[in-house]
Amino acid sequence: MQSKNSAVYKTILTISGLIIIFAGLKIADKIVVPFFLSMFIALISFPLLKYFQSKKINTPISVSLVLITIISVSLSIAALIGSSLNSFRKSLPEYKEKIYNEIGNISSTLKQYDINVDSNFLYDYVDPSFLIQSVANTISAFGNVLTNYFLILFIVMFTLLEAAGFSKKLKLAFNNSDRSITNFYAFSENMNKYLTIKTIVSIITGMLIYVSLMIIGLDHAILWGLIAFFLNYIPNIGSIIASIPAILIALVQLNFYYAILVALIYLIVNVVMGSIVEPKYLGKELGLSTLIIFLSLIFWGWLLGPVGMLLSVPLTMIMKIALESNNDTKWIAILLSRNINN
């Protein structure tokens, strides 16, 4: 009886502890988000660091080369996003006028079928300026993290510098526990593989979207390609969210049939890349159930905003590994798993 009460007490204590931790993360999100994003960038950059080190380049110079690469890529992307957003905002009045014309056409078409709908009624309930500005604001929200750009770079630099001697620290921290060290290395290897493949797939996805939309003549094709690249990191719904603004612009700039064509382009690219190419090379090493991936997307998005959605899989994996290392919390890790045999 006493052991049963003790187990219940430990369970309540564990859940309470997790709630307190998550509440703290929610309160301190302005500090936590740049830190998590830095860890994400460091993990993506680690294979590049290992490549430089394999060429007999010492660690400080290797880290410097990685940082130069990160700065070059990030500034190039920022310049592309900035110019695309400026061009997009300049086009807003034109899009607004076209939407008003479309509303007028819809109202006229409905009248031909004896359905009288006042155009002013549609104008009141379909505010095109609000709709288009919301798209622009959503895109800009991902750029707000750049306010902590130098802080993120410093954290990435120190993380990569510490990575070389981390294995020794790990052995000391876990008292040479083979199981703990093996679990961590397995997690690290799987996470690096996941992020590397995800990054390559996201780059190809973005390029395919950009080229396809440029061919059909859609405005700001490079912007929609960049959005497809970034949102492809978000599991399940990222590609759907990425397609919405491009479809809306196709509807306004071109016509309904082109909007359908744009939707088909996104569908084909994401089915091929997300359902065929990515699973072929990624496999199921992460061991998270599909339901947990979807729920983690919602949870981390609520907790940390867009960056939380971006990092939902890595953060859930870290939490799963941490829970597995303790017998009292291992049952939670089992619930998160795809296969109980793992």
Token pair belonging to 110:
């409905």
**2-11, 50-59, 194-203, 288-297: which has the minimum mean pLDDT?**
2-11
Flag the least confident range among 62-71, 105-114, 218-227: 105-114
pLDDT beyond 80 at 172? no
- pTM (2 decimals)? 0.70
The pLDDT of residue 178? 55
| 238-243 contacts at long range (C-beta below 8 A, 24 or more positions apart) | 238/309, 239/205, 239/266, 239/270, 239/274, 242/209, 242/266
Query: Which comes out higher in pLDDT, residue 130 or 64?
Result: 64
What is the pLDDT, as a whole number, of residue 146? 58
Among 189, 250, 197, 222, which residue's Cα sits nearest to residue 50?
A: 189
- Orientation of helix 59-90 relative to helix 92-112, angle to 10°: 50
pLDDT of residue 267 exceeding 80: yes
- C-alpha 212/C-alpha 262 separation (Å) is 9
- In this prediction, residue 314 carries a pLDDT of 75
pLDDT score for 211: 92
Share of the chain above pLDDT 70, in %: 69
Q: How confident is the model at residue 73 (pLDDT cuts 50, 70, 90)?
A: confident
Which amino acid does the sequence have at 136?
A
| Alpha-carbon span 124 to 119, nearest angstrom | 9
DSSP β-bridge partners for residue 337: 288
Mean pLDDT, to the nearest integer, of 257-273? 88
Q: Looking at the predicted structure, is the pLDDT value of residue 278 above 70?
A: yes
CB contact set of 52 (below 8 Å; sequence gap of 6+): 61, 62, 65, 66
Q: Is 115 left (phi over 0), alpha (psi -120 to 50) or beta?
A: beta
Q: In the predicted model, is pLDDT for residue 67 greater than 80?
A: yes
Q: How far is CA 234 from the centre of its chain?
A: 4
Task: Report the C-alpha gap between 320 and 324 in whole angstroms.
Answer: 6
Q: For the chain, what percent of residues have pLDDT higher than 90? A: 2
Q: Do the beta carbons of residue 288 and residue 323 sit within 8 Å? A: no
Highest mean pLDDT among 129-138, 258-267, 299-308, 313-322: 258-267
